[in-house]
Amino acid sequence: MTLALDSVDLTTVARDGGYRIVLSGTFELDKPHRVHIGSAGDSSDPLCFSGKPGQAYNAKPFSETELKPYTPRMEIGGPYTITVIRGDTLETDQLVDAITAVPEDYKTTVFDLRKVFPPHYFMGPRSMELLEHIP
C-alpha cells in the first residue's frame, strides 16, 4: 500500500505544541509512521508525538485513512510542511505549506474557568501586588 497524504484538519495551531491534528490519507495499519512539521520538509524538522503510551514518536494509524499525531513546539510563523515517513519502508509523503504556528492564546482558558466557578471568584490577569491586599 502506498503512503499518501490528502489533508490536515487544523491549519493553525498554537506554537506551544501538544495539539492533536488529524491527517487524512492512505496509511498502513499497525505500521509506525513518523510525522515531522517544519520548514525544511524532511526528517530534520521537529517530530510529532504519537500520543499513545510506549510509542513515543512512532504514530500508528487509527484507521487506513486517519493518522492522529500531536504537534511539537514550533517557532511562530509558517506555513510549515508536514512530512510523514513510514518507519519500515522509509516511504515519504508531504503536505506543503499546510500548517501555521501562532502565539498561545490563554483567553479561552480563562473564560472556561469563569463558566465553572461562581462570580465572586475573580478569574483573570493577576499581579504580585494584588497578593498584598488579600486578607
| pLDDT per residue as tens digits for the range 26-72 | 998 888 999 999 988 888 889 999 888 888 889 888 889 999 999 99
- Report residue 3's pLDDT band, with 50, 70 and 90 as the boundaries: confident
pTM for the whole structure: 0.74
Percentage of residues in the chain with pLDDT exceeding 90?
31
Q: Give how far Cα 131 sits from Cα of 107, 126, 135, Å.
A: 22, 9, 9
Distance between CA 135 and CA 122 in Å, rounded? 15
| pLDDT per residue as tens digits for the range 16-33 | 888 899 999 999 888 899
**Full set of structural domains in the chain with CATH:** 4-104 (2.60.40.10)
